[in-house]
Chain A
Amino acid sequence: MNWQQLGRHPSLAIGLMAATLFALLGLVSLWWTPFPIEQISIARRFLGPATEHWLGTDHLGRDMFSLVMRGTLTSFVVAGLGVIIGIGVGVPLGLAAVAWGGMVEWLVLRLSDITFAFPAVIVAILIAALFGPGEINAVIAIGIFNIPVFARVARGGALAIATQDYVAAARLAGLGNAAIAARHLLPNIMSLLIVQGTIQLSLGILAEAGLSYIGLGTQPPATSLGLMLRDAQSLFLIHPWLSVVPGLTIVLIVIALNISGDGLRDAIDPRLRHEGLNHGAG
């Protein structure tokens, strides 16, 4: 893919740019925020947007823009690690199902069926309730519900490739199942995985926000977009702005990631436009 291709898919360009912008905002917050996020100043609380505080201040007088930056980082990190767990475990499972077939395939499929039977966020709540609230458990929860998604996608993509002549040739040349999966199947489903990864990232951000909102995700004094919503909810009738800021940020990030995902899918393989890739519905 090059810049020219990007130009042919304006929604992809916009989505990628917006998603990158948010990711950068989050990254920058590691080194710099307009105000330190731990700094509490009750005298300055509930200030509306102004030149000093671009997005105003929250109920503890913390700068909302700084909180949004750090919250975005938390959201991306938690969702991103969740996706990495999903890929790291799910893709080998899916590839193994194709390469070995038989019992292995049956087992992998039934395991993903079982996981799919529970709505993703319910699984996440269960995990967070069992192991206690916190960012790490949110990562694990999001990771677990990503595993079957990637297992399915990897298996679906690999099935189509496994019937190709060059795979048969490799097998004749004496390559084992694992080598075929690694050398021939995996590189050819890479684009599928990238597209699915983008979509799962947006679902992960929603899940993280949901978990933090019900108090099972990020814990104060750290912050995340869901936690900001939680803090603001009892103040909604008095200071609606405090809910609007993190709410809109979540919406924008998710839209950006979704149109990036859709755009990537169209750009990478136009034939896929009307097929598959619906596994991610969570």
Chain B
Amino acid sequence: MTARNTLALTVAGLLLMAGPALAQPTEIRIGVALEPPTLDPTAGAAEAIDVVVYQNVFEGLVRIDQTGAVQPGLAKSWTISEDGLTYRFALNEGVTFHDGTAFDAEDVKFSFDRLLAEDSVNAQKALYAPISAVTVIDPMTVEFTLSRPDGLFLFNLGRGDAVIVAPESAANNGAEPIGTGPFAFIQWDRGSRVVLEQYGPYWGEAPALTRASFVFISDTATLTNALLAGDVDGTNNFAAEALAVFENNPQFKVLVGSTEGETILSTNNRKEPFTDLKVRQAMAHALDRQEIIEGATYGYGVPIGTHFAPHHPYYLDLTDTYPHDVEAAKTLLAEAGYTDGFSATLKLPPVAYARLSGQIIASQFAEVGIELELINMEWAQWLEDVFANKDFDLTIISHVEPFDIGIYANPDYYFGYDNAQVQALNETLNATTDEADRLALAQEIQTIIARDAVNGYLFELAQTGVWNAKLDGMWQNAPVEGVVLRDIYWVE
């Protein structure tokens, strides 16, 4: 063998070795802060469930796209009757669940019967209350009958709570989810990660990624290091305080988008002294929204003056209803009979925005004479004390449900706002399908709850994703909870 031959062989060998490395990567590792308690999106309220499985493992009849619009999903088309009470869906053919069983109209009926059953554990059961019957017309056609018109019906069908499950596997979905989505569940290493793999026989367009793992890293410093070291390829929501690490780094892209999370200083409207409108108005005047946004979200939050997402077309800017005004707050407190202020407790769930906002608000309230005692709680305790038992004065929480102004029409809800006018307006809103009327009604409710200062309206949470600069197709905004993998791909 001549020297030239040896050289040629060596070069060929090197090329062979380099070959696989040059191919487009098709795997992704996503760091997420919270591990889901279960993987069944129809059996829990935790956002962490949808982050892993929504539109990846499970699909609904329709799906919500990045802009919040409703797109065809398992149903390829639908017709709505004149009175808005009957929806007929034509289903896609050739759809199979990941265990190989076929999808048809019976699965749709099963899923909704299960969701609406007495013993259903679905967290959003109330959203689907208008459904009075689900009828199988033929294997590829299903009809929904509603008891009253519902302007948000299609959107609600696209939520993670209404995904289609199979009777054969539904019971095990919490530990081993089986859906119809482009990715099949492979394994769940508890405390560490969930692995998904592309489902070959997927009925729709195959995604670019072949494998995805969701790695659970709750600590910001650890996640920062994992991103810098390349142990994870991105995260959908990174702590705003440390975002500066990645902002000017060309290896990463930072995606700042909107979410549906209205962060509010929830006030127990049943309890003295918060039953007094003047006290609530005084608290609203005492809040310095800009300082809270700067301090708790590092400027990424968007100010809100009512319980509505600022990027929604129905949003009304009411941030000036009660501007920051210490003197006005003191006057109102005096008029309400609290010349020397009062003391109250502020229960805080274990999320950074709440803990930071809590400290800032305590300092702002101290200026008008309201002494707040901060009580830090774990999630389970918070859910029980505040949300279930309504045993609280004040708390800070982000309401991440899209279009959730209806909670103000429920006097049994944890903050206990009871206003007959709002309840009537909300009922009309639910039954109205005309866009212009809906907008007027939604804005009227927004105005009333803002004037009533039901809660302290702080800011809309931002979604701040950090991703490898070579990744593309991630959702910038979060109109629904979830990290949708189907559009994500690597660019070279």
Contacts and interface: CB of A to CB of B under 8 A. Distances in A.
A209 B23 CA distance: 49
A2 interface: no
B362 A43 contact: no
B362 A60 contact: no
B360 to A, nearest CB: 5
Interface string B256-300: 000000000000000000000000000000000001001100000
A39 B291 CA distance: 13
Contacts of B355: 220
Nearest to B367: A39
A40 B376 contact: no
Interface in A191-238: 219-221, 233-238
Interface in B210-246: 219-221, 224, 239, 241-242, 244-245
A219 B364 CA distance: 19
A53 interface: no
A38 B295 contact: no
A220 B359 contact: yes
Contacts of A237: 224, 242, 245
Contact of A238 (B219, B244, B364, B376): B244
Interface string A21-54: 0000000000000000011101101000000000
A234 B242 contact: yes
B224 A40 contact: no
A42 B291 contact: yes
A60 B374 CA distance: 16
A40 B242 contact: no
Contacts of A221: 359, 362, 374
B241 A60 contact: no
Interface string B361-402: 011101000000010100000000000000000000000000
B356 interface: yes
A238 B242 contact: yes
Chain B interface bracket (under 10, 10 to 19, 20 to 34, 35 or more): 20 to 34
A238 B240 CA distance: 12
A184 interface: no
Contacts of A59: 241, 295
A133 B84 CA distance: 54
Nearest to A59: B241
Interface in B180-225: 219-221, 224
Interface string A141-180: 0000000000000000000000000000000000000000
A142 B138 CA distance: 70
Contacts of A233: 220-221
B194 to A, nearest CB: 24
Contact of B374 (A40, A61, A220): A220
Given A60-B360, A220-B359, A221-B374, A40 B295 contact: yes
A238 B221 CA distance: 11
A40 B239 contact: no
B363 A40 contact: yes
Nearest to B296: A42
A219 B350 CA distance: 12
A220 B376 contact: yes
B362 A38 contact: yes
12 contacts: A38-B363, A40-B295, A43-B291, A220-B374, A220-B376, A221-B359, A221-B374, A233-B221, A234-B220, A234-B224, A234-B242, A237-B242
What are the 7 closest A-B residue pairs judged by CB atoms, nearest first?
A234-B220, A40-B363, A42-B295, A42-B294, A42-B291, A233-B221, A237-B245
